[in-house]
Amino acid sequence: MNFIKNFRLSFIIMLCVLGLLAISFIGKQEDDKIKIAKQVKFSAKVNVADNVILPEGFVDTLKKAEDILSKILSSEEFKKELSKRSFADSAFSKTKKTCFERIYDEKGRVSGLGVYENITRNPNIEIEWVIKKYKDGEKTSVMGFATFCVNRITSHDYWIKNGQHLSLRFVRHLAHEYTHVCGYKHDKLLPKEHKFKKGDDPAMGVGSIVGDIMLDWTKKGLL
């Protein structure tokens, strides 16, 4: 009789332990899941110059980059990190085009949450990605460029080579250039007194946030 009682008790204790283990496991899984703020899909239609040779596996590399960038732009984490930031008040393009909204914070700086709103305004981003032949002897360190409110990104082929996680470099580059499409410029042509300070540049800021999230998710096995 005693034996049966003991057996029952240890069985119940065992069930409790298993239950607790299951709860903590599910809790951990929840923590590691990507939380969605707003579903955004980023896709690129590639337009390659005749004399450009794309690296082997380019189609798959780009597909992977599109998936990762879509996940990051959709995530709560991207929204949260960008909302913590603000940028130089002169970071908006002077263009008269109206595909974006000029959103400032209470200090008169370009609002990070506003940058997020502009980047995620279109939930189905379809970019034409022009890959241009880099001419030998041409002086440039520019990886690519984009025009405000035009859904096109142009990139030089010189850096589009396999190795060093090409898909991840695509993600950062496309995120940076898409920030320009959404109305934000660099300070290159500004007079000295309006020059951006470190961290004041929206395209650089978006690029680094996207890069950090990618690194974090890679470590957690989410990508």
Calpha distance 148→178 (Å, rounded): 9
Minimum Å gap between C-beta 156 and Zn ion is 13
Residue closer to Zn ion, measured from CB, 69 or 203:
203
Task: Provide the minimum distance between the beta carbon of 146 and Zn ion in the complex, in angstroms, as a whole number.
Answer: 8
Nearer to Zn ion, 110 or 223 (CB): 110
Q: How many residues bind Zn ion (CB under 5 A)?
A: 1
**For residues 27-46, which are near Zn ion according to CB under 5 A?**
none
Nearer to Zn ion by Cβ, of 80 and 152: the residue is 152
For the chain, report the end-to-end CA distance as a whole number of angstroms. Answer: 55
Closest contact distance (angstroms) between CB of 92 and Zn ion is 14
Options 203, 210, 213, 223; binder of Zn ion; rule CB under 5 A: 203
Minimum distance, C-beta of residue 139 to Zn ion, in the bound complex (Å):
17
Nearer to Zn ion, 81 or 201 (CB): 201
Nearer to Zn ion, 64 or 173 (CB): 173
Report 77-106 residues binding Zn ion (CB under 5 A): none
Span 179-198, contacts to Zn ion by CB under 5 A: none
Task: Give the nearest distance from C-beta 203 to Zn ion in angstroms.
Answer: 4
Which positions lie near Zn ion, rule CB under 5 A? 203
